[in-house]
Amino acid sequence: MVDFIGIERVQQLVARRGPARFMEELAGEIEADFLRWGEFDKSARHATHSPVGVIELMPACDGRLYSFKYVNGHPKNTAVGLLTVTAFGVLADVETGYPLLLSELTLTTALRTAATSALAARRLARPNSGVMALIGNGAQSEFQTIAFHHMLGIREVRLYDTDPAATDKLERNLAGARLNGLRVVRCASTAAAVQGADIVTTVTADKRNAVILTPQMVAPGMHLNAVGGDCPGKTELHPDILRRPEARVVVEFEPQSRIEGEIQQLEAGFPVTELAAVLAGRAPGRVGERDVTIFDSVGFALEDFASLRYLRRIHHEQHGAHRQIDIVPDLEDPKDLFALLAAAPAATAAPARALA
């Protein structure tokens, strides 16, 4: 039997901690695994692209545990009432190859993405940053806002989306979340939202080389949390932002980001720093007040590895329905797989049809 964590169970686990505490704890798990960077077998995710979206597999292994995530990205899904992103994941024991956990990762991916964004911003944004612009107010936006408010002390969030209904939704949800001390400002354009911001988070969904931010919008000292560009042909920043002399670009896993991140727009040798090196203190994050720091985040399998491990631990720590599913046979004789069929109840045969 294999542990199973579905949507309802994740709702319970998050509710008992609260989203803010859950994401802070998850950020701690993610940081701990980034600090073990050298222990992991790492590879860029395997992506299958179509004209309307992408389906990906994201593996990671530290020699003891192995994980993978199945995830899709289909920006047009919302037009027919479907999610843009869905995901599930597996955590397995390397010694036996047996799966230990099958879990939903649609909700968890949003939580871990925001947790990673805030974790990176702690090292890259200016100390005491208080204002964040949030460009793109869709499915990720509440999670990003809560994480930055709780983990960095953001006091004002400035909202803009080309779809006013998305901003309506975000305003309602933030009001319901009761985030003490947070001022929510609705803006008429991206330029208005980023004016005076310490941090700019871009989390748009269009699968194209968009220009959400132009060089003129980026002031010295800003931290850019570029989340929405996450596959080939999908970017948000004008490439000249990345080329600014004072820009410092941080990525999760360079080989993957060269294919999928904002840096796909630039020459192969363009210098970047991996987040693991910044977290471990092997490379600087922000050096000066005028640095423009850019977290070119596409999401990396290590973050899902940490999320699955965290979910499994708190799943067993907290009371509730510990569901299991029988996706691995339990045999008296491991060489006799056919016994499962021999012992199965006989099925009622369908009546034979007479031939004309």
pLDDT value, residue 34: 98
Is 51 part of a structural domain of the chain? yes
Is 235 part of a structural domain of the chain? yes
Mean pLDDT lowest among 108-117, 159-168, 319-328: 319-328
Half-sphere exposure of 98 (CA within 13 A, CB side): 11
Same domain for 237 and 254: yes
pLDDT value, residue 234: 87
- pLDDT of 356 above 90: no
pTM: 0.93
Q: Which domain covers residue 61, as residue numbers? A: 2-107+303-328
pLDDT, tens digit, for every residue of 258-277? 999 999 999 998 999 999 99
Same domain for 100 and 171: no
Is 230 annotated in the active site? yes
- Between 279 and 348, where is the model more confident? 279
The pairing of strands 247-251 and 292-296 is parallel
Give the number of domains in the chain. Answer: 2
Identified catalytic residue from 3, 33, 161, 230: 230
pLDDT value, residue 209: 80
Same domain for 156 and 82: no
Same domain for 213 and 283: yes
Q: How far apart are CA 310 and CA 333, in angstroms?
A: 34
Question: Computed from CA positions of residues 275, 160, 54, 269, in that sequence, does the dihedral angle turn out positive or negative?
Answer: negative
Same domain for 175 and 71: no
CA distances from 287 to 50, 97, 267, 278, 295 (A): 41, 45, 24, 12, 15
Q: What does the pLDDT average to over 313-336?
A: 88
Same domain for 221 and 314: no
pLDDT, tens digit, for every residue of 22-59? 999 999 999 999 999 999 999 999 999 898 888 999 99
Same domain for 221 and 236: yes
